[in-house]
């Protein structure tokens, strides 16, 4: 590191930055995740090791991590090492709030002319078990009685092999069907 003054401005520069042609990445690390499993983050980072630093790949890695929808913020930086290589660091800030962060839910009434009033609600828990899975439940009671369950794992094995499943039970009292069932008995 050296510094010099130019028209009263102090300038500092690293000799490594000035004279190095290839910024070789010798390691890739990530930090800041306390709930999300390390392998979920590592599988999204595509920047090769022992290759020149490519900021477009690092930006794509950051965007992939953000697009998971489970992190509040993702930053990256290249840190020079003593052996004239670089460590590519991804700093991750997880959604720390449970409500509004990892869990989103709502409750609401609904009115249908034929069925009357129903009250229902539901919610979805994102990053379930720290593996970018989501699990959701929804229900309604009243004129329309329903229950639903949803599970999603966008990368259960291999290269983007996903598992999504929905289970729904719907039972509602429609006046027309009640008249038919009463007339048949």
Is 2-94 in CATH node 3.40.50.970? Answer: no
Total H helices, total E strands in the chain: 4, 11
| pLDDT at position 80 over 90 | yes
pLDDT in tens, 138-160: 999 988 889 999 999 988 887 77
Question: How does residue 21 score in pLDDT terms, banded at 50, 70 and 90?
Answer: low
Percent of the chain with pLDDT over 90: 50
| pLDDT at position 2 over 60 | no
* Phi-psi group of 35: left, alpha or beta (phi > 0 → left; psi -120 to 50 → alpha; rest → beta): alpha
pLDDT in tens, 46-63: 999 999 999 999 999 999
Distance between CA atoms of 127 and 152, rounded to whole angstroms?
Answer: 10
Q: What are the structural domain ranges in the chain?
A: 2-94, 103-184
Question: How does residue 19 score in pLDDT terms, banded at 50, 70 and 90?
Answer: very low
Question: How does residue 76 score in pLDDT terms, banded at 50, 70 and 90?
Answer: very high
What average pLDDT does the structure give for the chain?
83
| pTM metric for this prediction | 0.70
Q: What Å distances lie between residue 42 and 17, 27, 48, 140, CA to CA?
A: 28, 12, 12, 40
Average pLDDT of span 73-84: 94
Question: How does residue 18 score in pLDDT terms, banded at 50, 70 and 90?
Answer: very low
pLDDT in tens, 88-143: 999 999 887 777 677 888 888 989 888 889 999 999 998 889 899 999 999 999 88
pLDDT at 169: 87
pLDDT at 151: 95
Average pLDDT of span 73-80: 95
- How many CB atoms neighbour CB 16 within 10 A? 15
């Amino acid at each position: 590191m050296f510094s010099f003054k130019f028209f009263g401005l102090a300038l500092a520069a690293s000799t490594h930055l000035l004279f190095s042609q290839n910024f070789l990445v010798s390691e890739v690390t990530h930090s800041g995740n306390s709930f999300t499993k390390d392998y979920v983050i590592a599988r999204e980072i595509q920047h090769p090791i022992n290759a020149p630093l490519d900021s477009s790949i690092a930006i794509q890695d950051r965007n992939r991590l953000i697009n998971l929808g489970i992190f509040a913020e993702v930053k990256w930086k290249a840190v020079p090492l003593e052996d004239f290589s670089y460590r590519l660091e991804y700093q991750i800030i997880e959604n720390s709030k449970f409500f509004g962060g990892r869990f989103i839910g709502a409750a609401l009434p609904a009115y249908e002319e034929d069925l009357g009033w129903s009250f229902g609600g539901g919610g979805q828990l994102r990053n379930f078990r720290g593996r970018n899975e989501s699990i959701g439940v929804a229900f309604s009671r009243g004129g329309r009685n329903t229950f639903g369950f949803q599970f999603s794992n966008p990368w259960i094995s291999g290269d983007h092999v996903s598992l999504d499943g929905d289970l729904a039970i719907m039972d509602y009292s429609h006046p027309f069907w009640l008249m038919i069932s009463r007339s048949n008995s």
